[in-house]
Amino acid sequence: MKKSKISPAVIRRLPKYYRALTELSEIRISRISSKQLGKLTGFNPSQIRQDLNSFGGFGQQGYGYNVKNLKENMERILNIFTNKSMVLIGVGNLGKAILQYAEFSENGFHVRAAFDRDPNKIGTKIDGVRVRDIDDLAEYLKENKTDIAILTIHKDVAQRYATICTDHGVRGIWNFAPKKLKVPEEVIVENVWLNESLYTLSYFLEDEWEDETESEEKE
């Protein structure tokens, strides 16, 4: 199965399966059915089986899934524990929050350097990560192979620093700046635009909506 053939919707569910499997292995559950995994993740059991089948299965009829084995397969598929080097660009509140988010560094995603233009921040350390002058970004990337750049800077300068990153071998951009980036075809951009999840939440909040649409459909 080629990566490109698997739909993004499936891929977005994998980290949720991984989270559930991690929780299960923490409480020493050794096997689980797709039905139980459905309860934990909120997805339909048949969808879960179908998703996992697209990576080769991992389950057995009448037995379910071996938690440890499935978790390890998710780790392999998601490249967890493969020691990715990251840089963080923009040490504002969001940047600091991400630097302090311990979970992903425990899983092999390491922020090796942070960059900002504020002289008061340059030279300080946040959670063990040194803040450097953003003007030294290109030079740093030349000398230090970096897999992922985390963009937590203002949207007006996001493209400029994204380009510096991709020009220097960065292959993945975790973009928190509300700006659609232009990158070379081989570069992966994952946008985290917080508004979008708020609007998704908001969608469900209006009770009156249902009737309105029904009356429109009659037109």
The residues binding its own copies (CB under 8 A) are 1-3, 9, 11-12, 14-16, 18-19, 40, 55-56, 76-80, 82, 84, 92-94, 96-98, 100-101, 103-104, 107, 109, 147-148, 171-174, 178, 180, 188, 190, 192-206, 209-210, 212-214, 216-217
* Coil, strand or helix at 1: coil
Compute φ and ψ for 172, nearest 5 degrees: -135, 140
* Coil, strand or helix at 174: strand
Instruction: Name the minimum Å distance from CB 150 to its own copies.
Output: 9
Q: Which is nearer to its own copies, 143 or 214 (CB)?
A: 214
Instruction: Name the minimum Å distance from CB 200 to its own copies.
Output: 6
Q: Which is nearer to its own copies, 33 or 107 (CB)?
A: 107
Residue 130's DSSP bridge partners are: 125
Instruction: Name the minimum Å distance from CB 40 to its own copies.
Output: 8
Six token digits for residue 76: 């392999």
Q: Which is nearer to its own copies, 26 or 206 (CB)?
A: 206
Q: Are strands 84-89 and 125-126 parallel, antiparallel or unpaired?
A: unpaired
Q: Are 189 and 175 in contact (CB under 8 A)?
A: yes
Instruction: Name the minimum Å distance from CB 158 to its own copies.
Output: 14
Q: Which is nearer to its own copies, 104 or 163 (CB)?
A: 104
Q: Which is nearer to its own copies, 139 or 169 (CB)?
A: 169
Q: In angstroms, what CA-CA distances link 157 with 115, 169, 180, 212?
A: 13, 19, 12, 42
Please name which of 93, 219, 64 lies closest in space to residue 152, comparing C-alpha atoms.
Answer: 93
Report how far residue 198's alpha carbon sits from residue 189's, in angstroms, rounded to the nearest whole number. Answer: 21
Instruction: Name the minimum Å distance from CB 30 to its own copies.
Output: 21
Report how far residue 148's alpha carbon sits from residue 189's, in angstroms, rounded to the nearest whole number. Answer: 10
